[in-house]
Amino acid sequence: MTMTRNRTSIAICALLFAAAIAGCTGAAGPTSPATLAPAVTLDTRSSTVVAPTAQPVVIATEPGFEPRISDPRARSTPCPAPLPDLTPPRGGWIAFLTPEDHLVLVSPDGTRQVSLADQGRVTCFSWSPDGRWLAFSTPTRLLLASIERSQLVVVSEGQRAGQCAVTWSQDSSHLAYLYDLTTIQKSYGAELRLYDLASGQTTTIGTYPRPGETGEIAALCSQPFPSTMLPVVEKVRGSLHIWDPATGKTIVSLNSDGRVVEPLRSVGACTHLWLPGGKGLIFPRQETGKRPVRLSGVLGGTFYPVSLSLWMAGDDGPFTLLQAQEGQSYWPVRWLPDGRLEVLMTQWDKDTYDGPAEPEHVEYRHYRVNEQGELCEASDGDLPWWAGGGLQKRLSQAGLQPPQGRLGQWEAGADGEKVVFAWARSGDGQEQGAVYLWRGEGEPVRLAMGHDPRWQPVQSRP
């Protein structure tokens, strides 16, 4: 009978919450920000607010963390402001951040520009693989913008500015993110959560301790993940854990024979690459048993050789694809449109350098991966003009090179010909950046002042 009363109470609370949202007058109650409320969508065409049916959220996690049900009465999510028309232009949107960190969408020809500055400062953003959604974090909220409907969905509130990692499933059905609880609960530092776009439900998969207790920092990669395998990096220990989102269990930890590491000056949280179809994961692994390279000075450090490893789905552990020698490192860069894998090889000639330095040898190599997960060398011929370091070379030939500035985030468009990139220049003690579009010839076209441009993926059609 107790169970029946609890279910009835939850159903009544769900109806009360939906009624409060429909009136758009509910104020946030004095409850813990860690408690989730259902997402709210504003339909700008009909000026009505649509709230999905509030349902209990089942928590799946590792042993030691007690499951709980989110209370739909916890908060009335404020009605989001209407969005401008987000109908994609020809070639798709290019999203970027202004110098003030406001989110803006611009057309490739520069004739259309839509600002989402009303949503405040944005800490990070990510396109869904099908191009229909744009997820972005502010210092206090995680939001979704529907490109097709020009609507806004509130995924969570209470998000801290320092924790903004979000990533999509490859089928665009789920959004994974880390919710920072450092200032909310003393027992946990962050929760790994999964938002279901179809149901509007959020599931907490697991938790990570506070950085002050363990020194560990969890991070998500921006690369979309297979729906059955979600990777999370522990950046201090160098562990790469593959989670099963359905059960909240860890499938495998990929640090048994060396730290999983990032390259110097890496933009993303990590550099792993999924094999087509999610059959396996290629990642860089630090060889701590080999002699390191040491750079002195403020920008210096100790750097060990890095090998390239592969974990095949279903295996107990990884195996080595490319074994690094002394002073050598291999980094997985990207999959090219024709299926070739691009790998960056760096080689240091000395063990110690006085001050910051660059490797003496930098080389791009290309491979194909067979069904057994073996690397086969592929020809470097017929590369896109921007691959194999081509973008950097042509920018240098065009006069865009230090001390004039540095290359930031860049991406190739769906046509494989145009590239959008950020170029930063320093002056008067401040760094000014701009977003450019280029075909590799002539002068790059400046679209706007800003940084971190991301091209909208090609939308899949029914």
Q: Residue 364 has what pLDDT?
A: 95
Q: How far is CA 241 from the centre of its chain?
A: 16
Q: Residue 381 has what pLDDT?
A: 84
Q: What is the DSSP string of 330-366?
A: EEEEEE-TTSPEEEEEEE-S-SEESS----SEEEEEE
Q: Which residue has the higher pLDDT, 14 or 424?
A: 424
Instruction: Please state the rounded mean pLDDT for residues 178-207.
Output: 80
Instruction: Please state the rounded mean pLDDT for residues 351-373.
Output: 91
Residue 35 has pLDDT above 70, yes or no: no
For residue 92, count CB atoms less than 10 angstroms from its CB and return exposed for 0-12, middle for 13-18, buried for 19 or more.
buried
Q: Residue 65 has what pLDDT?
A: 37
Query: What domains does the chain contain, in order, with CATH numbers?
Result: 1-252 (2.130.10), 254-383 (no CATH), 399-462 (no CATH)
Instruction: Please state the rounded mean pLDDT for residues 197-223.
Output: 78
At 414, which amino acid appears? A
Q: Residue 220 has what pLDDT?
A: 86
Lowest mean pLDDT among 28-42, 100-114, 324-338: 28-42
Q: Which residue has the higher pLDDT, 121 or 11?
A: 121
Residue 382 has pLDDT above 50, yes or no: yes
Average pLDDT of the chain is 76
Find the helix or strand (DSSP H, E) in which 109 lies.
none
Q: Residue 73 has what pLDDT?
A: 28
For residue 281, count CB atoms less than 10 angstroms from its CB and return exposed for 0-12, middle for 13-18, buried for 19 or more.
buried
| pLDDT (tens digit per residue) in 422-460 | 988 766 556 678 999 999 998 899 999 999 999 999 864
Residue 69 has pLDDT above 50, yes or no: no
Q: Residue 150 has what pLDDT?
A: 93
Q: Residue 219 has what pLDDT?
A: 82
d(CA 420, CA 423): 10
Q: Supply 390's token pair.
A: 């081509």
Q: Residue 327 has what pLDDT?
A: 94
92 with 130: CB under 8 angstroms?
Answer: no
Positions of E strands within 185-264: 190-196, 202-208, 218-219, 230-234, 239-244, 249-253
Residue 152 has pLDDT above 60, yes or no: yes
Q: Which residue has the higher pLDDT, 265 or 393?
A: 393
Nearest to 60, CA basis, from 247, 198, 190, 296: 247
HSE-CB for 136 with a 13 A CA cutoff:
25
Find the helix or strand (DSSP H, E) in which 293 lies.
strand 293-295
Instruction: Please state the rounded mean pLDDT for residues 114-119.
Output: 94
Percent of the chain surpassing pLDDT 70: 71
Residue 396 has pLDDT above 90, yes or no: no
Residue 416 has pLDDT above 80, yes or no: yes
Supply the DSSP symbol for 391. Answer: H
Instruction: Please state the rounded mean pLDDT for residues 131-151.
Output: 93
Predicted TM-score (pTM) of the model is: 0.78
End-to-end CA distance of the chain: 47
Residue 103 CB partners (closer than 8 Å, separation 6+)? 95, 96, 97, 115, 116, 117, 119, 122, 125, 136
Residue 206 has pLDDT above 60, yes or no: yes
Instruction: Please state the rounded mean pLDDT for residues 343-364.
Output: 93
Task: Respond yes or no on whether the N-terminal peptide bond of residue 403 is cis (omega within 30° of 0).
Answer: yes
Residue 5 has pLDDT above 60, yes or no: no
Find the helix or strand (DSSP H, E) in which 150 lies.
none
| pLDDT (tens digit per residue) in 74-85 | 233 444 557 899
Q: Residue 241 has what pLDDT?
A: 87
Instruction: Please state the rounded mean pLDDT for residues 208-220.
Output: 66
Q: Which residue has the higher pLDDT, 93 or 401?
A: 93
Q: Residue 207 has what pLDDT?
A: 80
Q: pLDDT-based confidence at 9, cuts 50/70/90?
A: very low
Q: Supply 397's token pair.
A: 């030939």
What 3-state class would DSSP assign to 390? helix
Q: Which residue has the higher pLDDT, 139 or 71?
A: 139
Q: pLDDT-based confidence at 66, cuts 50/70/90?
A: very low
Instruction: Please state the rounded mean pLDDT for residues 254-274.
Output: 59
